Structure 1
């Protein structure tokens, strides 16, 4: 199948932009000669799309766009804005880029959006926080493609690989994909690829996107090359982010190893489960506080979306009757009922959970509200009695900062039906499952142990399971309330929509 794809792709690529190849070959051939003789560069049509995924990169984005536009090979610059709360979009636009908003939070989705929006067959990806770039990197990166010497080009730059590269990516590539062990910067985000190839590659949603594209291209038979681009500077990342990156990179390499028949230890998927569970915890979230002292806690089912995730999932898995009987049972406490509901979805593939979470309706105004609150200095997160696998997807869809929910266990991407109650929902994290409550999550934010401490908490819900959380919040709102008890609380403001809440937010802040 891969051989057939490669033959077909190589035949098709000769039909793309013949004049582009001629023009770029002229540029590549004359590039060094022009520098030495100080001649003006020849006039030619540029046929490279430079795509820059960006999230809150106002410090560097303008200079990166201007740098890209100076290269003779650049035909357009697209900045894919991941719903930044700073001036990234406006500064990029002012610098001459075409700015589009990412369809979903995450670099992988942004890169894929850039491919779909590109006007040209040749695409060069740059990061939005780069500095210290030598001239003509874009022309240099596409040169092996133009000369038909490579199908996928990675940048090689002066400094050694970072900690995740040296301690995770390279050792794992050496074991599972030794053909790629020579790549200097397997996690680097500067690449040059034809659009026709990129459209057949998988874009991982998280930190694993760059290593994923490299391995996927290799597995599809693409010729991999490196181009030395000198040295460059990146913003440094926190130790916590590096830990998450290492876990995600390892997961992607393991996934491709298994798909390629190079991995035979099925238990390795437990590594991904451990990573997922860590990301669902308050301790993970608090490291992303970044000195913010205000937080908004959003319920998911009935609040962000008018529907309930487990109900929608039951429709897709034809278990509506079983679910209905559990939902109507008044004797079960929250923890017990949640575990019994989880058992309904035993043997359901992870893709079903993803599909339902991606398809659920979002109330009008939610994304605008989230973005506005982030601009006003709030952390914004989802606190849900549902499953983290769904809440995390919903978090990315609305561009929120975090999600806290319960953990469903998967083995080889198949749900085991086992549910782990998130300890953040329990009093002091203790195993007292009769007291599973969102208010315990809110108490974690109010703890004086947080540095800096949170001074203001907003909460938004729709049902009785949100009431204790709403009672503790400084400002509480309810949308489409399911119980009169929510409407009888003086301090809880009933709103009709998130569009209305934007007006209330403006008045209160």
Structure 2
């Protein structure tokens, strides 16, 4: 039984064909697509093939490969790239036969291709000097590999172009039996000189780093010390891309996306539900609750955390609603008191744009038990500079206005009001979804009874600014005091006003048309 891991980044055009190719194997497999926070349709296309899709905790192929391995349920793990359309139909057999037949523990593919400059000019020369036992491998940088999970869990996954050469060296150091498998001719997109330059630096850095840990002769390292091994880090923030947008929809993950509470389910899955209950009973400060809750998930890896999230049913039509909202020019995202890594995973599955959440610390994709509360959830009180900021999720609207120039009037917030009603009040349109909060109609601009999200599309037809004039709520007692006749008169006056405005608008359009015809 084999786990096939496909790390992907913006490969919506090719991922389905890759999945279909690896499905042709005769062996029992599971397929795990690890999305590296793509901004195209990669996640949506992969999910059409019925495979498991998880979201990497941070951008980088090495992290995606490691987290895919963590999620794998079988001992033989195969990695294939998600952008190659020329794999042979028996790619899985070619990579795993030596392991299945107990002839190898790690299989490195080799192939014919149109170019391999970094391999020939950087990787092989360095290997011949520092690791001569590995110099014979034809494609040391190949990303199509297979190995035993028991060994892969003991090696380090570099988070850049050095990941593949690093795995080869680490497997060699562990004493694994390594062999090569010919997978034919591979064609993929040619890389730019900038990409090749970055690759050469990172491959060099990885080989030198491994050599230093092996205590190889110092003169060799000094000779190679002049190589530029400065590592370039690529930071990712999808929110930066919405700076020029003028309207947003924010969904409360815990109230209107998930149909069950993530923290409670995760606590039950990891047998810490009693501890979570005690935290909730003994503390009232949100920051203290978050910090204590984070400790309950110490030593849980990302794959385990996301597996709980994937088991929670979501609102049936929310993905289609998000797709339509984005067509209308809305940026769509999630807000939650929970963990950013979980929220980002759901964001990617639903095709949303951004996440506001608390950052659970992960080291090597394993939770440390610590959490960071981002600045947009903290509000400075007026008690002076020495006062500590307090947790206030409602601060997000001011943060968005300041950082992304989207005013609260242009934000639609969708929640139930369970954790406070201020966001429903302060957003341009506050939408209460499937709410059981008493008197929610006095707070929200619109109410969607559930269980479907489709009515939100009718609400989003209008510009949020049109909802800023709110009539105060009228109780039954007030209605009796005013009298039915007065209410009818008020309604009639409103209809007259709307009719007059429409007549005036038609007259202006007619005058404009006449002016153009002249």
- TM class, shorter-length: 0.5 to 0.7
For structure 1, which segment, 177-186 or 464-473, has the greater mean C-alpha deviation from structure 2 after superposition? 177-186
Q: State whether structure 2 residue 409 is matched by structure 1 residue 488.
A: no
User: Which of these residues, 288, 295, 303, is aligned with residue 339 of structure 1?
Assistant: 288
User: Which of these residues, 249, 272, 278, is aligned with residue 316 of structure 1?
Assistant: 272
Q: Distance in 2 between matches of 1:187 and 1:291?
A: 40
Retained in 2: the 8 A contact 1:152–1:223? yes
Tell me the equivalent position of 2:377: 425
Retained in 2: the 8 A contact 1:350–1:413? no
1:19-75 Cα offsets, whole Å, 9 max, x none, are xxxxxxxxxxxxxxxxxxxxxxxxxxxxx9998676764544688789x69xxx988
Retained in 2: the 8 A contact 1:295–1:379? yes
The TM-score with structure 2 as length reference comes to: 0.52
Tell me the equivalent position of 1:4: none
- After TM superposition, list the pairs within 5 Å mapping 1:388-407 onto structure 2: 388=340, 390-392=342-344, 395=347, 400-407=352-359
Tell me the equivalent position of 2:335: 383
Q: State whether structure 2 residue 412 is matched by structure 1 residue 463.
A: no
- After TM superposition, list the pairs within 5 Å mapping 1:29-108 onto structure 2: 57-60=11-14, 99-105=49-55
- Over alpha carbons, which structure has the higher Rg? 2
- Pick closer, same or farther for the CA change 1:145–1:353 going to 2, 3 Å: closer
- Pick closer, same or farther for the CA change 1:128–1:348 going to 2, 3 Å: closer
Tell me the equivalent position of 2:107: 152
Using the TM superposition, give the Cα deviation of residue 468 of structure 1 relative to its aligned residue in structure 2, in angstroms.
3.3
- Pick closer, same or farther for the CA change 1:435–1:181 going to 2, 3 Å: farther
- Pick closer, same or farther for the CA change 1:475–1:234 going to 2, 3 Å: farther
* Cα RMSD after superposing both structures: 6.6
Structure 1 portions without partners, runs of 5+: 1-15, 17-47, 261-277
Structure 2 portions without partners, runs of 5+: 57-63, 215-233, 462-518
- After TM superposition, list the pairs within 5 Å mapping 1:31-430 onto structure 2: 57-60=11-14, 99-105=49-55, 126-130=80-84, 145=98, 151-155=106-110, 158-161=115-118, 188-191=142-145, 193=146, 197=148, 211=164, 219=174, 221-225=176-180, 232-234=187-189, 284-287=237-240, 295-305=248-258, 306-307=260-261, 309=263, 313=267, 316=272, 318-320=274-276, 322-327=278-283, 329=284, 332=285, 337-339=286-288, 341-343=290-292, 346=295, 349-351=298-300, 355=304, 358-359=307-308, 364-366=313-315, 368-370=317-319, 372-374=321-323, 376-377=325-326, 379-388=331-340, 390-392=342-344, 395=347, 400-408=352-360, 419-426=371-378
Q: Distance in 2 between matches of 1:345 and 1:114?
A: 21
- Pick closer, same or farther for the CA change 1:460–1:109 going to 2, 3 Å: farther
1:228-253 Cα offsets, whole Å, 9 max, x none, are 9777444879x9xx99xx99xx99xx
- Pick closer, same or farther for the CA change 1:455–1:480 going to 2, 3 Å: closer
Retained in 1: the 8 A contact 2:67–2:365? no
- Pick closer, same or farther for the CA change 1:368–1:489 going to 2, 3 Å: same
SS at match of 1:349: coil
SS at match of 1:100: coil
Q: Kindly tell me the number of residue pairs found equivalent between the two proteins.
A: 404
Q: Distance in 1 between matches of 2:366 and 2:43?
A: 40
Q: Distance in 2 between matches of 1:215 and 1:400?
A: 39
